[in-house]
Amino acid sequence: MYKKEVLKNGLRLITIPLKNSRSVTILILVATGSKYETKEINGISHFLEHMFFKGTKKRPTVRDISETLDKIGGEYNAFTSKDVTGVWAKVATPYMETALDWAADILLNSKFEEKEIEKEKGVIIEELNMYLDTPASYVTDLFEELLYKNQPAGWKIIGEKENILNLNREKIVKYWNEHYTSENTVICIAGSFKPALIKKKVMKFFKDLKRKPTPSKAEVKEVQTKPEILIHSKNTDQTHLCLGVRAYNIFDKRREALTLLGVILGGGMSSRLFLSVRGENALAYYISSSFEANPDTGYLVTHAGVKNESVHKAVELILKEYRDLKEKKISQGELKKAKDYVKGKLALSLESSDAWASFYASQEILREKILTPEEKIKRIEKVTINDIKKVAEDIFLPQKLNMALIGPFKEEDKKIFEEVLII
């Protein structure tokens, strides 16, 4: 059973003792990401995450940072999303204090040297180039850009090249000072450890994390009256597309029903879309559907890579399944199958200490409310056939429909796609 405490400095600590585990994961999540940025500094959250690995007073070099955990066989990394920045370390149980020291050091004592900032600009630009050359991933960014346009929710997490080149130490230190505060941070420790000692150890390393007001993010505005399309012209051998609808945020009571609807559509190799688009018509290698939700907004999206000459046919098949869910009730057997799928996936996803840490900490940082796996399953079990029908009727509407695609098409092809985009 997990335990949540708020420490003296406002830091939230979640502990999850796991029997039979030989490892400990330390996950630190900070409520900051690209949604908290302005246009001028878009990409700074991600850039700052990189700078945590460039040296501290105690560990002055990149090698010193990495070698600390490499020499004990630890695993570690960091990540940035639109809402959250995270740093984590997973080590064998005897090295827990080393990992705590390391995590606190890079978060609280990084030097952010100007020379290292200049060097890292090249690394991040190459990361951006790699991402832009991976259409299966990049099309998701384009889909969110289509949904949210020119506001933080629609910008790239990594930022644009011009912004990356314009960042400097003053901007980075200012952003770090404003956002990396105790009340804005969750520390989660999962695995094999002595619960009685953990609070004292965390305070030992994180006592200098200050309590101060933290900036809020801009409210996301959603305005749409008809189906919208974004075409990114690229000479590809395969068209990558995201076709979906605006939906619900993580606080909405309909999210479990929408999760199951996404599974029915495109969760697994026996889902409706997989069987139709790939199995029966052989138009795609990959196709899936999922419900993506955050504190501000949410959407259901189908993600696929299809033959260039068969895009229109694939889109028609996807939309047919959308319409069928809106117009006809699913069977009891299909509902049970979707519920069992979600329960099985949840069980499989919680097989390691890092998975448990992520499960609990992400809920706390995003929702400030934690549901146990058992509580999540209870909510899933309560969903009815009528619940799914009502959700389908609510979301599968022309004014909520969006499609982004990357392929050998031009802007004038929009008109052709608009004729197909009927729901």
- Buried b vs exposed e over 229-250: b needs ≥16 C-beta within 10 Å? bbbbebebebbbbbbbbbbbeb
pTM assigned to the model = 0.95
For residue 87, what are the β-bridge partners?
Answer: 28, 78
Model pLDDT, residue 214: 87
Q: Average pLDDT, stretch 300-317?
A: 97
pLDDT tens sequence across 339-385 = 999 999 999 999 999 999 999 999 999 999 999 999 999 999 999 99
Q: Which of 56, 33, 79 is nearest to 218 (CA)?
A: 33
* Residue position matching structure tokens 């384009």: 142
CB–CB of 135/236 below 8 Å?
A: yes
Q: Average pLDDT, stretch 307-311?
A: 95
- Which element (helix H / strand E) includes 80? strand 75-80
Residues in the chain: 423
Q: What is the DSSP letter of 110?
A: B
Paired tokens of 412: 């004038």
In order of start, what are the domains of the chain with their CATH numbers?
3-206 (3.30.830.10), 228-420 (3.30.830.10)
* Residue position matching structure tokens 């029997």: 19
Catalytic positions, written as ranges: 49
Strands 401-407 and 228-233: parallel
- Axis crossing angle, helix 169-179 with helix 114-132, rounded to the nearest 10: 80
Q: Is 183 helix (H, G, I), strand (E, B) or coil?
A: helix
Query: Is 24 buried (19+), middle (13-18) or exposed (0-12) by CB count in 10 A?
Result: buried
pLDDT tens sequence across 58-77 = 999 999 999 999 999 999 99
Q: Which of 254, 260, 247 is nearest to 345 (CA)?
A: 260
Is the per-residue pLDDT at 215 higher than 90? Answer: no
- Axis crossing angle, helix 44-51 with helix 169-179, rounded to the nearest 10: 90
CB–CB of 49/85 below 8 Å?
A: yes
